[in-house]
Amino acid sequence: MADYHFVYKDVEGTSTQWDDIQRKLGNLPAKAPAFKPPAYTPAQEESSAPKDQAWLNEKTEEELEDLEDDRDLDDDRFLEEYRKKRLTELREAAKVRRYGSVTPISGSDFVREVTQASAEDWVVVCLYKDGFAVCGLLLGCLDELASRYPATKFVKIISTDCIPNYPDCNLPTLLVYHHGAVKGTHVGMKSFGRRCTPESVALVLCQSEPVLNDGKSGDDDSSREAVMAGVRRQFIERVVKDHEDKDNDDDGYNSD
């Protein structure tokens, strides 16, 4: 017959009178404190920031879209209109493609990067070869223009990778593309004046088309006029500075 043993376990934390006496005599270790669960405190909701223009300015495009059904904004016509305005601004800014440098491409990249480029982009292509000083001079100007006008796409390609047997005497050559078609061709350095500067290159590129775009102007006409005005100002400033530097050099030479 099976022998069943039952172990009686009292409520945790309770103790007999005998155990208490033994503890006082030091024959038993001190009684462990009874388990006491931490007091329940309901999770406090994160205090919401005041809903104002500054609060909306911190939101991303996705977050602004999610606020479309926000009751607080529905009750505040001004904030709802401002939300829509910010959303439009962010969407317009996202349309502006940013480049900012002269990107090297190969012959196999040409169709994708140039002729199939976005219809909204102007693409300036520089045909060059390493070891040609004039190519280095023009590319230096294009680097500066690319940083000034990041919404215009600048690329460079070894001339013979683009056009087999392209004559070195035509280097450097600039090709301007828009909507997949050539809109301008500038062969050699003669187009850019005796002293090639970023400003002289910009003036040539924007003579008839709004090639350079900083992404801030509106329509093409206003973009071109804004760019041309800025380039003329920079051109004059550079000429004045060059004359001042030359005068300072002459004065230093004469004083010797």
For 197: left if phi > 0, alpha if psi spans -120 to 50, otherwise beta; the answer is beta
What would the mean pLDDT of 114-137 be, rounded to a whole number?
A: 92
Cα 153 from Cα 182, distance rounded (Å): 14
Cα 121 from Cα 105, distance rounded (Å): 17
Cα 42 from Cα 190, distance rounded (Å): 78
Would the pLDDT of 9 be above 90?
A: no
pLDDT at 55: 81
227 against 194, higher pLDDT: 194
What would the mean pLDDT of 13-38 be, rounded to a whole number?
A: 72
pLDDT category of residue 6 using cuts at 50, 70 and 90 = low
pLDDT category of residue 140 using cuts at 50, 70 and 90 = very high
pLDDT at 157: 98
Q: Kindly report, residue by residue over 231-254, the tens digit of the pLDDT.
A: 777 667 766 776 666 666 655 555
Q: Which CATH class is domain 102-239?
A: alpha beta
pLDDT at 44: 46
Cα 209 from Cα 38, distance rounded (Å): 74
Mean per-residue pLDDT over the chain, rounded: 79
DSSP state letter for 169: G
Would the pLDDT of 199 be above 70?
A: yes
What would the mean pLDDT of 170-193 be, rounded to a whole number?
A: 93
196 against 239, higher pLDDT: 196
Model's pTM, two decimal places? 0.57
201 against 7, higher pLDDT: 201
pLDDT category of residue 195 using cuts at 50, 70 and 90 = confident
pLDDT at 47: 44
Q: Kindly report, residue by residue over 57-89, the tens digit of the pLDDT.
A: 888 878 888 888 777 766 677 888 888 888 888
- DSSP letter for each residue of 196-225: --HHHHHHHHTSSS-----S---SHHHHHH
